[in-house]
């Protein structure tokens, strides 16, 4: 069997391990023209060997069209629940809509997590409290956009306050990674999600060494980025194969409370 390094170099799909993409987008994006349909996304996942993707809409959906964008994600989930999960996107800029939207998304639309973004202000803003309580009570993952800055510290404070929720620090590796490391070491329910457009040398190795592979989570940021570049950061890292498997899927399985699932769906979508 080829090593994961060799698989990545040859661009072979990762068929023998469980791969969970915890950070991806569905639907249209205002500055790019791309195929955001479900079939296209499934084809991209199959090419890389991604088993399950947790989707959200794009960031501009935090405004008036938030519910419509969550509906779009729900359509992915309901069409292929074996391949897609979803984050319910909420924003503190419309605080009156937070709980109703959470109740709607988790009351039958099939969502698995919550997405928040920095345009809504500080993550320790009191307007977010109902959402954190909701996630804490249901042991939900919360994916938060960050950039190696104070947003990580804000999120970590909330993670310590709501220990039953899992807090996924998006774009760990961007900005000052020392902040992510420091906060992860203080906060057991903080997970470092790795996607960002750059690929700084030895960042994954450093995070594994200083925080541990069990606290790193892989995401692609598709359909903004290609899946391959983000996979490469882990596949080519100078870390043990087991650590790569943990990062690419094992940890997400735990965070998303998934039962044991086969590595590969029984029928190809291609």
Partner 1 sequence: MTDKNRQPAQPISAPWPITDAWCRPGPYAARRPGSPYSMADLVAEHARYGIRRRVCLHAESREGIVEEGNAEMSRLAAEHPCTAVIWTALPPLRFGADPVGALMVRARAAGVGMFAMFPTTFLHHLRPWANGELYAAMAEARLPLALDLGEANLFDTIYEIASAHPALPLVLWGVMYTHERLLIPLMDLCPNVHLGLAPRFVSCDGIENFTGRYGARRVIYGSGWPGQAPGPLIAHVAYAEVDDQVKGLILGGSVRELLQNVAWPVHGLEVQS
Which positions from 238 to 257 touch partner 1 by CB under 8 A, shown as an x/- string?
x-------------------
CB count, 10 Å around CB of 193? 28
Long-range CB pairs of 38-41, under 8 A, 24+ apart, other chains included: 38/75, 38/76, 38/79, 38/80, 38/84, 39/269, 41/76, 41/222, 41/223
Please say which residue, 31 or 64, places its beta carbon nearer to partner 1.
Answer: 31
- 228 belongs to the binding site for partner 1 (CB under 8 A): yes
Applying CB under 8 A, among 17, 47, 133, 212 the residue interacting with partner 1 is 47
- 34 belongs to the binding site for partner 1 (CB under 8 A): yes
CA distance 174 to 180: 10
CA distance 120 to 268: 40
Applying CB under 8 A, among 9, 79, 137, 263 the residue interacting with partner 1 is 9
Applying CB under 8 A, among 23, 44, 83, 85 the residue interacting with partner 1 is 44
Site for partner 1 in 74-133 (CB under 8 A): none
> Which one of the spans 32-40, 97-105, 160-168, 179-187 is the region binding partner 1 (CB under 8 A)?
32-40
> Which one of the spans 30-38, 75-83, 147-155, 239-247 is the region binding partner 1 (CB under 8 A)?
30-38
Question: 116 with 123: CB under 8 angstroms?
Answer: yes
CA distance 257 to 135: 13
Residues near partner 1, by CB under 8 A = 3, 5-6, 8-11, 31-35, 43-44, 47-48, 197-202, 205, 222-233, 235-236, 238
């Amino acid at each position: 069997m080829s090593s994961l390094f060799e698989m990545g170099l040859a661009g072979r799909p990762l068929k023998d391990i469980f791969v969970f993409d915890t950070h991806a987008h569905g639907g249209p994006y205002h500055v790019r023209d791309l195929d955001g349909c479900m079939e296209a996304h499934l084809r991209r996942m199959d090419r890389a060997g991604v088993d399950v993707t947790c989707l959200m809409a794009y960031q501009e959906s935090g405004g008036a069209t938030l519910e419509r964008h969550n509906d779009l994600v729900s359509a992915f989930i309901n069409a292929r629940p074996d391949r897609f999960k979803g984050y319910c996107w909420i924003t503190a800029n419309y605080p009156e809509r937070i709980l109703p939207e959470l109740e709607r998304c988790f009351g039958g639309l099939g969502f698995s997590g919550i997405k928040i973004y920095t345009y809504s202000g500080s993550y320790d803003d009191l307007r977010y409290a109902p959402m954190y309580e909701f996630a804490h009570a249901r042991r939900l993952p919360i994916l938060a956009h960050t950039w190696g800055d104070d947003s990580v510290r804000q999120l970590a404070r909330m993670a310590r306050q709501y220990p039953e929720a899992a807090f996924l620090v998006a774009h760990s590796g961007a900005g000052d990674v020392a902040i992510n490391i420091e906060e992860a070491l203080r906060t057991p329910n903080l997970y470092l999600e790795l996607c960002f457009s750059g690929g700084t040398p030895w960042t994954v190795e450093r995070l594994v060494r200083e925080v541990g592979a069990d606290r790193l989570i892989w995401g692609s940021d598709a359909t903004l980025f290609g899946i391959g570049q983000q996979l490469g950061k882990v596949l080519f890292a100078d870390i043990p194969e087991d650590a790569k498997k943990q990062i690419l899927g094992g940890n997400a399985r735990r965070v998303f409370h998934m039962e044991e699932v086969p590595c590969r769906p029984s029928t190809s979508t291609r």
